[in-house]
A and B are shown apart, each in its own frame.
With several copies, the nearest count.
Chain A
């Protein structure tokens, strides 16, 4: 599967679609679903923050795995099992390199961001917590980075503290600084907000937390598809993301943890592969990363994720970021031109997420009307109900960008929003 033959790499300097440095039309060809029609209209997919579409390479890779290599990993002495194990472990290496983690032992395959955060809550944080201890999160967290902490706070008597945000949707850095204190056992924040698009200054925040010896978990679900993440530079203690949001398959995600922390943690689930010796009286756990991977893993999913990272690398995350930023600027301009439309989330540093409300129509109605024109956006609380409560709104409409979106998609969105205004005139 040599993708460089099929995907326009960095060398392609054809400046299609204005400021872009890769050939967006060629990229769109890699995503067959973009050729689909919905209600007899071409699909305009702008719900990438919920899940991304998959390039043919990734789907082919999964198919090839099942049709040619499929076997269980780690325990077979025969050829297919060796092949499957190599491919599975090669995927771990790809993730390690992609995030610039120090060791492959720090890369744990999980179902997704949600499971990764739960694993840390359960195996790392919970045993540490006593009444009076604090877990620090922010107002803009996804439910997946709220509920696990609530659960363990309830169980241990610790307190969940919430860093406030300003009107633009940025973390209040002064408040953050004063909230760091010796009772704080963990800071858990998102790198990019799925509801607002805000890119948080996590590198600086990690540094501040570390000055007080507070470890940090970063929810990277919305960051990994859009920003180059260098875990050694970032110095995060834990980092989580989901395969399905980075052009990879569903049911697979990554928990990164610093080796010295993972070494000290009890296992999460018990079962095959995570043990090295079992008697009825006692069990010795396996070494990292396997200690945290009980049972048959999502083998095809892991391999598909590796293939998705290959795909991203072939285009280059810097190129993707440039493209999405240019499109974000264009979309922000266009949306701002609509009377009565208010953008929610206007941080200085933003990823390609456009949340908005309209004076005339509720987000839900907006989405239904857009859908009839083949335009897929999200309407609702985006699994950030506390943020919505803070903003005093029940729901926003949200368009979120990926590398294959183009100006035509934004123009279609605009036309759709004008239709909304006509209906709700």
Chain B
């Protein structure tokens, strides 16, 4: 196994890929969004419970779906991280995560904000897998924009 593979398939990822956390439908949810990657057929449904109010906080997050280890682990880790975050914080998290994977220089990297999500940094060496790692994240953005403009039936990373 070469270094890139070792970086990609870390213990945590294999574990979350195999036993994703929060893998269920929330009993009560306010937002839901399907995410789909037509390239490989990965698909998932993200569920969020956001209490209305001035400070919109994500109280619970879960998902269901099927796909590769990267997309499942990324979704699993995402749902773990989201709990307790405000919408603004979630959006910052998206940007940071995207920066981590693509090295986008428009966004200043603040890796400490990502916490455990940093285990996905190895994806950066595998450009074709970035879509897998960001699938749940695109679903997150879709869910948060649901109220605003026309809600898409599903979002894709294509």
State yes or no: do A and B come from one complex.
Answer: yes
Question: What is the interface of chain A, defined by CB distance below 8 A to chain B?
Answer: 39, 74-77, 82, 275-277, 286-287, 361-365, 368-369, 372, 379-381, 385, 388, 394-395, 419, 422-424
A residues within 8 A CB of B38? 275-277, 286
Q: Are B132 and A364 in contact (CB under 8 A)?
A: yes
Tell me which of A76, A362, A385, A388 contacts B67 (CB under 8 A).
A362
Q: Are A77 and B128 in contact (CB under 8 A)?
A: yes
Complex Cα distance, B18 from A177, in Å, reads 44
Q: Are B132 and A423 in contact (CB under 8 A)?
A: no
Total residue contacts A-B, CB cutoff 8 A: 73
Q: Are B129 and A77 in contact (CB under 8 A)?
A: yes
Tell me which of A82, A363, A372, A395 contacts B128 (CB under 8 A).
A82
A residues within 8 A CB of B43? 394
Name 21 A/B residue pairs within 8 A (Cβ), A-sorted: A276-B36, A276-B158, A286-B38, A286-B158, A364-B42, A365-B69, A365-B70, A368-B126, A368-B129, A372-B2, A380-B39, A380-B40, A380-B41, A385-B41, A394-B40, A394-B41, A395-B41, A395-B42, A423-B14, A424-B14, A424-B18
A residues within 8 A CB of B156? 276
Having A361-B69, A362-B67, A368-B129, one finds 7 other A-B pairs with CB under 8 Å, namely A77-B129, A362-B68, A364-B67, A365-B68, A369-B5, A380-B41, A395-B41
Chain A nearest CB, measured from B139 CB (Å): 15
A residues within 8 A CB of B39? 74-75, 380
**B4 adjacent to chain A (CB < 8 Å):** yes
- Tally B residues with Cβ within 8 Å of A: 27
Tell me which of A277, A379, A422 contacts B40 (CB under 8 A).
A379
Chain B nearest CB, measured from A10 CB (Å): 32
Complex Cα distance, B41 from A257, in Å, reads 30
**B1 adjacent to chain A (CB < 8 Å):** yes
**B127 adjacent to chain A (CB < 8 Å):** yes
Complex Cα distance, B19 from A178, in Å, reads 46
In the A-B complex, the 6 residue pairs with the smallest Cβ-Cβ separation, listed nearest first, are A364-B68, A394-B41, A362-B68, A276-B38, A395-B41, A380-B40
B residues within 8 A CB of A275? 38
Tell me the interface secondary structure of chain B in the complex: mixed
Tell me which of B4, B5, B42, B129 contacts A394 (CB under 8 A).
B42
Most chain A CB neighbours (cut-off 10 Å) among B36, B69, B158? B69
Question: What is the interface of chain B, defined by CB distance below 8 A to chain A?
Answer: 1-2, 4-5, 8-9, 14, 18, 36, 38-43, 66-70, 126-129, 132, 156, 158
Closest-by-CB residue of B relative to A82 is B128
Complex Cα distance, B157 from A276, in Å, reads 11
Complex Cα distance, B158 from A287, in Å, reads 8
Known: A77-B128, A286-B38, A424-B14. A372 touches B4 (CB 8 A): yes
B residues within 8 A CB of A74? 39
Complex Cα distance, B131 from A75, in Å, reads 12
Complex Cα distance, B132 from A108, in Å, reads 26
Q: Are A82 and B41 in contact (CB under 8 A)?
A: no
Chain B nearest CB, measured from A199 CB (Å): 25
Closest-by-CB residue of A relative to B126 is A368
Complex Cα distance, B9 from A422, in Å, reads 11
B residues within 8 A CB of A385? 41
Chain B nearest CB, measured from A416 CB (Å): 11
Most chain B CB neighbours (cut-off 10 Å) among A74, A287, A394? A394
Q: Are B41 and A372 in contact (CB under 8 A)?
A: no
Chain B nearest CB, measured from A64 CB (Å): 22
Complex Cα distance, B129 from A258, in Å, reads 31
Closest-by-CB residue of A relative to B38 is A276
B residues within 8 A CB of A365? 9, 68-70
